[in-house]
Amino acid sequence: MTLTTLPLAAQAAEKPRCESVESIGVATMTADGVITLRIRSLPPGPIAEGVFSYRPGDPQYDEIKRHLGGVVPGQTKSVPPWC
């Protein structure tokens, strides 16, 4: 098997525009207010997945909640990409 590297212009042409991607995963808020994100990377790079949890009082908690457009306990919703 031979690996090839595409020129940067070709790589850019294959990469979807961030604005055209509706979701990179799901977010759920538990009854105690913990927000858990299950997210994945965008192509064309290697696929990466991660699970991140944010508790009330976490320095990034309010920013995550705003990015989701709000979320309430028991709710699961799509996570828009950070563009």
Is 70 exceeded by the pLDDT of residue 17? yes
pLDDT reported for residue 75: 97
The model's pTM is: 0.76
Nearest to 60 by CA among 35, 27, 30, 83: 35
> How many CA atoms lie less than 13 Å away from 76 in the CB half-sphere?
4
The token pair that represents 49 in the structure block = 């997945």
Query: What pLDDT does residue 2 have?
Result: 42
Given a cut of 70, whether residue 7 has pLDDT beyond it is: no
23-74 tens-digit pLDDT: 999 999 999 999 999 999 887 878 899 999 999 999 999 999 999 999 999 9
Residue 15's pLDDT is 62
Asked if residues 36 and 74 have their Cβ atoms less than 8 Å apart, the reply is: no
Beta bridge mates, 78: 26
CA atoms of 83 and 81, how far apart (whole Å): 6
